[in-house]
A = this chain, B = another copy of it.
Amino acid sequence: MGQELPVTSYALLGLLTFGDELTGYELKQRADITLRFYWVSPAMSQVYTELRRLTDAGLVEPTAEGRGQRYRITERGRRELKDWMDGTPAGFPVLKHPVLLRLLMGHVADPATIKAMLREYVDELTTALADLDEVRESLRGADAPGEAFRHPSLVADWGLAYFESEARLARETLARLDEGPLDKDL
C-alpha cells in the first residue's frame, strides 16, 4: 500500500519486531549493536525523524505521552514490513571500503603508509570481532530454530565469519606486499 519508505525506515521498524517497546534513545542503542555491522548506525537525530515518519504512517505507535516516550510496532507496521520483504527484491550489497579504495591506488602512496593502513585495519577488525562476538554470546539460549533470536544469531555468525575473512585477507595482502620489492635483484 503506502510503500516506498527508505530502507533505513524498515530497518528501524524491524528492530521493533522483537516484542518490546523502546524509546528513541534505546532504539539508537539497539541499532548500534546490530544494524551498525551490516547496515548503518543512523544519527540520533535521524532516529527521531524516522520515528516521526513511522508514526505518521501508522506503522508504530507511542505507548504513552511526554518524555521517555516508548514506541511499539503496530499490526499495520508488521504487515507493511512483511509485504516489503515478500514483495521487493533485496538488492546487492553496497560496500564502501576505504581500505581497498586506497590499496587500489597504492602506487601513489608510500609503501609504508599502505602497510600501516592494513595493520590498522586488522586491529580495527579485532575490535569489531570482539564487539560482535559479545552480541552473539548474548543471544545464546534463544538461538535455536524457531526461537526468538534465531535469525539475529544467523546474521551475527555471518558477520563474524566476514570479519575473520577480512582479517585473513588483510594479513595475506600484507605478506604479498612484502614479497614484492625484495626480489628486485634477480
Contact = CB atoms under 8 A, between A and B. Distances in A.
Interface of A: 7, 10-11, 14, 17, 34-35, 37-40, 78, 81-82, 85-86, 89-110, 113, 117, 120-121, 124, 128, 145-146, 148, 150-152, 154-155, 158-159, 161-162, 165-166, 169, 173, 176-177, 179-181, 183-184
Contacts of A121: 90, 92
B146 A97 contact: no
A179 B106 CA distance: 45
A103 B90 CA distance: 10
A19 B156 CA distance: 43
B105 A85 contact: yes
Residue with the highest number of chain B CB atoms closer than 10 Å, among A124, A154, A177: A154
Given A92-B128, A109-B85, A101 B17 contact: no
A161 B165 contact: yes
Contacts of A89: 117, 120
Contacts of A93: 95-100, 166
B99 A90 contact: yes
A86 B162 CA distance: 27
B150 A101 contact: no
Residue with the highest number of chain B CB atoms closer than 10 Å, among A121, A124, A158: A158
A180 B146 contact: yes
Q: Top 7 A-B pairs ranked by shortest CB distance?
A: A145-B180, A106-B151, A14-B105, A85-B109, A38-B97, A38-B100, A90-B98
